[in-house]
Amino acid sequence: TKPSFTKRIDKVQNWDYDETNDWFRCPNNRRVTFRGYTSRTDPITGYRRDFKRYESEDCSDCPIKAFCTKAEGNR
């Protein structure tokens, strides 16, 4: 893992993770909790991928949101 990757705050792989309770801690020290499962099917190959979906408790007044996500609401 390159240092340039490990310093990026937009990468969830660099966040703290609580395996017991299944949530992440974002760089602004907010909890990002598990919300449900979703799946996507590749239109060309037809391969289906399953994902776990997480959402932050509140990103509305976060000072580093622009560096973390492009979403209009919560990450």
What pLDDT score was predicted for residue 75?
61
- Strand (E) or helix (H) holding 55: strand 48-56
What pLDDT score was predicted for residue 7?
76
What pLDDT score was predicted for residue 50?
95
- Cα 69 to Cα 20, 21, 42: the distances in Å are 25, 23, 24
What pLDDT score was predicted for residue 20?
94
| Residue 31: count of CB within 10 angstroms of its CB | 15
State how far the Cα of 68 lies from the Cα of 21, in Å rounded to an integer.
Answer: 23
What pLDDT score was predicted for residue 43?
92
Name the 3-class secondary structure at 12: helix
Question: Residue 50 corresponds to which amino acid?
Answer: D
End-to-end CA, the chain? 24
Q: Which tens digit of pLDDT belongs to each residue from 14-71? A: 889 999 999 999 888 899 999 999 999 999 999 999 999 998 888 888 888 888 777 7
What pLDDT score was predicted for residue 51?
93
